């Protein structure tokens, strides 16, 4: 990594020297391209001045002249073309001033650190745009050297071991919830699980346990209330039965007296009405009792459903944890083998060579676009799309010997 950083620093210094050496020449030789923005001013003719952008065909729309082709002209040639076109249309001493104030952006894609859109500068070369894009994309280990590969593998191994410990802790919590046991935090910590991880899982265990207990307690309170209501209704039924029995005897005695003409029929009817009203009251109590019993049954069903739902949730989570744990074990074994192979590579010094990057430019033409193979020193024009390919996929081929030093 240190060597790569020094190499890139040297490369940036070379780019800056190249840029500084070419500034004067670029200002003289730059030719207009599509997307360039011109600031035109004409002495004494402010209505003719303004900003003009080269269209896709390389022309601008200029007052009194219509479309004026500017593509591939230098700044001086563009001013001269406008002066020639305006001859006879404006006084001869009304000179034309033209300045290039902007360019179409350039783009870089592919194997660079920061692909995207960047501002064009006259004289820009491929290497400069790659530098603006953060440089060539750093390849994944193992192509940066056996030492970095080994470091990466060991980090992955440590991460996977930590993930495996997390799975063990979560599985212990799920098993405790399913069995209704306490969470064994001490045993997990003693087995190597990080204290913070175990503490967090213990907190989750307590929250879930408390939440489930609170929901069950709420249902239990409803059931107790319904049981008290059922007891009161049953006691009311007992009183109704006793009172009905007493009134029934009164009705029977009154009936006998009425048959003998010893009492008025109105008294008999009054006793009969009392008996009927009391039976209706008993029916109402029976209805209330049925609803209270049904409510109690519903509460029991809700409690059972709550417990079954939590158990099913835990069982599914435990199944997923077991599957993840099996995969982690396989990955840990694979990483361990890879670490061994990387250690052998580090000792033997045999690593894969890094292919040279290649560059292609997608450039707009009068008939569409074309792809041009370029080198890192070739110049770009506004609107170019630079494609960078480091051929990292070629590293999947059988091992090549390193061409540079260690």
- Would you say 335 and 156 are in contact if contact means Cβ atoms under 8 Å apart? yes
* Domain CATH for 73: 3.30.1950.10
> Strand 59-62 vs strand 358-365: parallel, antiparallel, or unpaired?
unpaired
Q: Would you say residue 404 lies in a domain?
A: no
Q: Would you say residue 69 lies in a domain?
A: yes
What pLDDT sits at residue 346? 65
- Residues 223, 367: one domain? no
What pLDDT sits at residue 145? 62
- Residues 337, 190: one domain? yes
Number of domains in the chain: 3
Q: Would you say residue 218 lies in a domain?
A: yes
Using the 8-state DSSP alphabet, how is residue 258 labeled? H
Q: Would you say residue 7 lies in a domain?
A: no
- Residues 332, 242: one domain? yes
| Close Cβ partners of 288 (under 8 Å, ≥ 6 residues apart) | 229, 233
Describe the strand order of the beta sheet including 50-53 as a list of residue ranges. Answer: 50-53, 37-42, 96-102
Task: Give, for all 406 residues of the chain, the pLDDT tens digit.
Answer: 334 443 443 444 444 434 444 433 344 468 888 889 999 999 888 898 999 999 988 899 999 999 999 998 999 999 999 999 999 888 887 889 899 888 989 999 999 999 999 998 888 899 989 989 998 887 664 444 667 777 888 888 888 888 888 899 999 999 999 999 999 988 888 888 888 888 989 999 998 999 899 999 999 999 999 999 999 999 999 999 999 999 999 889 989 888 888 888 888 899 889 999 999 999 999 999 999 999 999 999 999 999 999 999 999 999 999 999 999 999 999 999 888 887 876 666 544 556 788 999 999 877 788 999 999 889 898 989 999 998 776 655 444 434 333 3
- Residues 35, 127: one domain? no
Q: Would you say residue 398 lies in a domain?
A: no
| Close Cβ partners of 175 (under 8 Å, ≥ 6 residues apart) | 181, 318
Residue 355 structure tokens: 């292919």
Q: Would you say residue 44 lies in a domain?
A: yes
- Residues 383, 367: one domain? yes
What pLDDT sits at residue 43? 86
* Domain CATH for 126: 3.10.560.10
- Residues 190, 207: one domain? yes
Q: What are the beta bridge partners of residue 85?
A: none
- Residues 158, 296: one domain? yes
Q: How many helices (H) and strands (E) does the chain have?
A: 7, 10
Provide the residue range defining the domain that includes 380.
104-138+354-393
- Residues 162, 214: one domain? yes
Q: Would you say residue 204 lies in a domain?
A: yes
Q: Would you say residue 23 lies in a domain?
A: no
- The span from the CA of 176 to the CA of 137, in Å, is 48
Using the 8-state DSSP alphabet, how is residue 58 labeled? S
Q: Is the pTM of this model over 0.75?
A: no
Residue 228 structure tokens: 């008290």
- Distances 160 to 150, 169, 174, 190 between C-alpha atoms, Å: 15, 14, 21, 20
């Amino acid at each position: 990594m240190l060597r790569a950083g020094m190499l890139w620093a040297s490369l940036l210094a070379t780019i800056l020297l190249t840029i500084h050496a070419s500034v004067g020449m670029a200002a003289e030789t730059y030719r207009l391209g599509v997307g360039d923005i011109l600031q035109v001013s004409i002495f004494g003719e402010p209505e003719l001045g303004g900003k003009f952008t080269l269209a896709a065909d390389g022309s601008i729309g200029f007052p009194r002249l219509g479309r004026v082709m500017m593509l591939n002209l230098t700044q001086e040639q563009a001013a001269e073309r406008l002066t020639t076109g305006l001859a006879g249309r404006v006084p001869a001493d009304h000179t034309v001033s033209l300045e290039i104030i902007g360019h179409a952006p350039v783009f870089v894609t592919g194997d660079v650190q920061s692909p995207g859109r960047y501002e064009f500068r006259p004289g820009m070369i491929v290497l400069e745009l790659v530098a603006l894009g953060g440089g060539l994309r750093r390849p994944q280990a193992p192509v940066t050297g056996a030492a970095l590969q080994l470091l990466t593998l060991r980090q992955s191994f440590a991460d996977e071991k930590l993930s495996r410990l997390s799975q063990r802790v979560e599985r212990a919590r799920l098993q405790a919830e399913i069995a209704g046991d306490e969470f064994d935090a001490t045993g997990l910590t003693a087995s190597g699980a990080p204290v913070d991880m175990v503490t967090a899982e213990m907190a989750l265990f307590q929250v879930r346990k408390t939440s489930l207990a609170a929901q069950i307690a709420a249902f239990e309170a409803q059931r107790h209330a319904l049981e008290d209501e059922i007891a009161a209704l049953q006691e009311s039924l007992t009183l109704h039965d006793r009172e009905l029995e007493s009134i029934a005897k009164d009705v029977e005695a009154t009936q006998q007296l009425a048959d003998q003409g010893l009492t008025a029929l109105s008294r008999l009817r009054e006793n009969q009405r009392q008996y009927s009203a009391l039976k209706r009251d008993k029916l109402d109590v029976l209805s209330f009792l049925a609803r209270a019993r049904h409510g109690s049954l519903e509460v029991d069903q809700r409690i059972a459903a709550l417990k079954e739902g939590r158990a099913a949730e835990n069982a599914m989570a435990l199944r997923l944890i077991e599957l993840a744990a099996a995969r982690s074990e396989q990955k840990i074994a694979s990483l361990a083998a890879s670490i061994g192979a990387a250690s052998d590579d580090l000792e033997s010094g045999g690593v894969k060579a890094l292919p040279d990057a290649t560059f292609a430019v997608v450039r707009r033409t009068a008939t569409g676009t074309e792809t041009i193979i370029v080198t890192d020193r070739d110049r770009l024009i506004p609107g170019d799309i630079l494609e960078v390919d480091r051929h990292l996929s070629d590293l999947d081929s059988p091992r090549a010997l390193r061409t540079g030093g260690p």
